[in-house]
Amino acid sequence: MERRRERLRYRRELNLCAPPAMIAAATERRLAGDWRGACAAALVDVDLDLRKVASAYGAGHAERIEAELLGFAPELLRRFLPRSEGRLVPRAAVVLSRFDEPCRGAREGSRRHGPVLVATQPQSWQVVRQGLTLQVLHKLPTHFHDMPEWTWRADAVADRRWVYGAGPDRLPWHFADGSPYPQGTVTPPEQAADRTGEIERIAAALVAGRPVEAFEVAGFEVDTTPTRHYGPELPKLLARMGRALPVARAELLRLTRRYEQERFRAQWGLVGISRFTVRRQDYSRADSGPWMFDVPAPAEVSLLRFGDLGPDELHPLVHEALFPDRVQQWRAQVPHVPELIQVRCGTEWHTVVATGGHLRTPHHGDAAPDEPMHGCAAAVRGWRTGVRPMPKDVRRDRQALFALALHGDTDGLLARLADGLDPGLRGPGGGTLLHWLAHLDHARLLPVLLGAGLSLEDRDHEGRTALHAAAESCAEATMAALIAAGADPDSRDQQGRIPARVLAEVRGP
């Protein structure tokens, strides 16, 4: 990650996928031996009963799964889950189990079987809550995601250190004394052959726009035979899979051993791999089993190199792997700092202040200016409604606020709202923050939102109240809290549906 914009985006994604307060709460519960509490803190619903597992499969399998759950770090797993545009891919089945034998259905013709621990992602894009459901399954779908232990096991310290590219005496892009490479430094020849050097050479080839070379450095052979397929050329497809390269060969060996198959398919359907040869393939070719090139390699060490991240800001399990002899001074929550934004207002430049839940205009007093074409007025209107034009920095601040709601960061959102909330603020779909309540801790957030003047009967562009939105996420506890606060259970959306009917439709037969 040579470009600062890419590094900052990666860091922002890490904080959204697993907010600091979530990491702190889940870590505390895991260390206390409370795996259910750790799951609850990381937005993971538990839909399994170990007694039923023992009854169906035997005590040995139940004990194995219980041991997996005791070492489960759900907040770490959230960083590596399959996503699209920041949101969890719907209906994806994510296999977590350490069980070495594939379960029945993982590969056509397989007779091996055994219960497997699986995390299932939301059922649709419309579901607000970005949570998981933890289950024990016997039969897997045709395609699924199989996550290595370093993505979710707290005790996989050695594997995690290897994945991040840490050698015996240095980190990637760092000298042995711990100092980072200066800009433009090339890996010394005597260090290029070790694991750390491999990480650096893969990254250098990708940055230089040579994805075929990057795959070869990672231990793959690329079949560049021309084909008649339409769509992107093979090098462009390989570049899209570049983030997985540092761990791809190890993953191929692991999945081959685990599922006793040598041919895998990438999610894009245009690339397949047989043994260690990568080539274009037809959409119609059905290679069942887990996806390949599915797990992105972590990039925190690149951020450490450029100073965009410090050791104390790493996930505690990552810090333990990279700096085993260092004591981390980790903070669970950083207070929100108001941002000063320059806005062209008439013939002058004015400063507007994004305080978290308000966009204030000091040059115009406490009230927003009324002139429709006024620069500060356009900024306030855009911040409240999302209507353009509005300054780029104002749009970014607004997006950051609703991203906290989307990813369930209650503590981060409360920190932003500490100075108050503009009751005129509306989300991308026209709803207030009450419409996002199902994804957050409603017990803490609901009183704050109501105290700020939000109405339980405010509607979004589709005529939905907050109660309708909670019903669409099957958040019955949130629905009960809204009704107790005075929400009308008989209110109807534009389709004439009351919240109870919406809940029944989402649940299905």
Range of the domain at 146: 1-155
Confidence band for 492, pLDDT divided at 50, 70 and 90: very high
What are 161's two structure tokens? 């250190």
Residue type at 12 in one-letter notation: R
* Element containing residue 277 per DSSP (H, E): strand 277-280
208 backbone dihedrals φ, ψ, rounded to 5°: -80, 0
pLDDT of residue 364: 82
486 backbone dihedrals φ, ψ, rounded to 5°: 115, 5
Average pLDDT, the chain: 88
pTM confidence score: 0.88
pLDDT of residue 104: 44
pLDDT of residue 228: 66
Alpha carbon distance 406, 401 (integer Å): 9
Give the range among 122-131, 353-362, 422-431, 459-468 with minimum mean pLDDT: 122-131
Alpha carbon distance 169, 176 (integer Å): 6
What are 424's two structure tokens? 């005129």
SS3 489: coil
Radius of gyration of the chain (CA): 25
Task: State mean pLDDT over 81-93.
Answer: 90
Alpha carbon distance 209, 134 (integer Å): 40
CA 450 to chain centre: 29
Alpha carbon distance 450, 472 (integer Å): 21
Q: Is residue 232 part of a domain?
A: no
Closest CA to 42 of 67, 66, 17: 17
Confidence band for 110, pLDDT divided at 50, 70 and 90: very low
Which of 101-115, 133-147, 192-206, 309-323 is modeled with the greatest confidence? 309-323
> Of the residues 97, 128, 155, which one is the last residue of a structural domain?
155
Reply yes or no on whether the pLDDT at 1 is more than 80: no
SS3 211: helix
Alpha carbon distance 340, 353 (integer Å): 5
> Of the residues 106, 127, 155, which one is the last residue of a structural domain?
155
CATH of the domain at 459: 1.25.40.20
Q: Is residue 151 part of a domain?
A: yes
pLDDT of residue 237: 85
Contact 406, 87 (CB under 8 A): yes
Q: Is residue 509 part of a domain?
A: yes
CA 24 to chain centre: 17
Q: What is the pLDDT of residues 157-175, one digit of tens each?
A: 999 999 999 988 899 999 8
CA separation, residue 104 to residues 59, 101, 117, 177, 315 (Å): 19, 9, 14, 50, 35
Alpha carbon distance 350, 332 (integer Å): 35
Alpha carbon distance 291, 95 (integer Å): 11
Task: State mean pLDDT over 28-35.
Answer: 96
What are 495's two structure tokens? 């389709």
CA 25 to chain centre: 17
Sheet bearing 359-360, strands edge to edge: 339-345, 348-354, 359-360
Closest CA to 80 of 378, 258, 228, 298: 298
Reply yes or no on whether the pLDDT at 109 is more than 70: no
Domains in the chain, number:
2
CA separation, residue 353 to residues 308, 341, 388, 401, 405 (Å): 25, 6, 19, 14, 21
What are 398's two structure tokens? 């607004």
> Of the residues 98, 121, 155, which one is the last residue of a structural domain?
155
Q: What is the pLDDT of residues 377-405, one digit of tens each?
A: 889 999 999 988 888 999 999 999 999 99
Confidence band for 447, pLDDT divided at 50, 70 and 90: very high
Alpha carbon distance 480, 386 (integer Å): 30
Q: Is residue 64 part of a domain?
A: yes
Q: What is the pLDDT of residues 214-255, one digit of tens each?
A: 999 999 999 888 766 666 788 888 888 899 999 999 999 998
Reply yes or no on whether the pLDDT at 25 is more than 70: yes
- Percent of the chain exceeding pLDDT 90 equals 62
Q: What is the pLDDT of residues 328-383, one digit of tens each?
A: 998 877 788 899 999 988 888 999 999 999 999 998 865 554 555 568 888 999 99
* Element containing residue 379 per DSSP (H, E): helix 375-385
Name the packing angle between helices 392-406 and 375-385 (round to 10°). 20
pLDDT of residue 137: 86
Give the range among 68-77, 112-121, 180-189 with minimum mean pLDDT: 180-189
More confident call, 363 vs 190: 363
Residue position matching structure tokens 């994510």: 94
Contact 220, 279 (CB under 8 A): no
Q: Is residue 33 part of a domain?
A: yes
